[in-house]
A = this chain, B = another copy of it.
Amino acid sequence: MSVEQLKDVKAVIFDVFGTVVDWRTGVSREAAAFLTRHNRQDINPDDFADCWRDFYAPAMAEVNSGRRPFVRLDILHRENLDKVLEKLGIDAAAIPHSELDELNRAWHRLDPWPDSVQGIQRLKKRFIVAPLSNGNIILMINMAKRAGLPWDAILGAEVAGIYKPMPEAYLRTADILAMRPEEICLVAAHNDDLAAARKCGLRTAFVLRPTDHGPNQKTDLCPTQEWDVIADTIDDLAAKLGT
C-alpha cells in the first residue's frame, strides 16, 4: 500500500453483498424456514441461496446490455425467485404472493460481517461512507437500519441508473459526489468489481471475505492485482487508512 496514493481520498464507498454483509447465511436462514413451512426439507437451504444468487448476474446483464430498461434489484430478485422455485420443483402458484414478496425481502435482512459496523463507523469520522451496491435504495435503507450500518448516504445502481460493473456506475457516482475518481476509494471483496473501478480511476481496497460464497469458496481468496489497500477486515482497513 502507498499512503501517498490515498491522501486525496475523501469518500470510501462499499460493495455490500459479500463485502459488508453475509448474504449467503442470511438468505439461507430465511430459505430454511420457507422450505420447512412447505415440507421441502429435502432441499438444502444453502443450495437455495446459491441458486438464487446464480440468477443475479444474468438478470443485471439484461439491463446493462440495453435489452431492458433499468429496474431495481428488488424486482430482479423477485423474478429470479420464481426461477429458483421452478428449478427446485416448487409450485410457486400454490404459494401466496405475499409470502414470496416477504421471502424476497430476505435480502433486506442480511447480517453484517462482525467487523463491518465498527469499521465503517471509524471510517465515517474522516471520510464520506456510502454503499455503491447493485442493491436498490430501500433494500439498503432497510438493511442499514436493521444492522446499524451508519451510511452517510445511499448511492449505487439505482441512483446511477445502471448496474456495476458498467463504468457509468462508478463514474456517475463520482459525478454525484462532485469528486474526481481518485478522490474515491471502492472497498470490495471481489477482484472484478475493483478492476472495473480501477479502470475508471477510483482507488481500490480489497477486503478478504473467504466465506462470502460458503465454506468451499474458490474465488476471491486473494487479490489478483496490487490494489491500493489490502485488508483482512473493514476494521483493519480503517486502521490502515489511519482512522
Complex contacts, A136 vs chain B, CB 8 Å: 176
What residues make up the interface of A, taking CB atoms closer than 8 Å to B? 74, 128, 130, 136-138, 140-141, 144-145, 151-155, 158-159, 176-178
Given A138-B177, A158-B176: A128 and B152 within 8 A (CB)?
Answer: no
- 4 A-B pairs besides A74-B178, A145-B152, A153-B154 with CB distance below 8 A are A137-B176, A137-B177, A141-B152, A141-B153
Complex contacts, A140 vs chain B, CB 8 Å: 153
Complex contacts, A155 vs chain B, CB 8 Å: 137
Q: Are B74 and A138 in contact (CB under 8 A)?
A: no
Complex contacts, A141 vs chain B, CB 8 Å: 128, 130, 152-153, 177
The distance in angstroms between the C-alpha atoms of A145 and B128, with both chains bound, is 8
Given A154-B153, A154-B154: A178 and B138 within 8 A (CB)?
Answer: yes
Q: How far is the CB of A170 from chain B (nearest CB, A)?
A: 15
A-B contact list, 11 entries, CB within 8 Å:
A128-B141, A128-B145, A137-B153, A137-B155, A137-B159, A137-B176, A138-B178, A141-B177, A145-B152, A158-B176, A159-B159
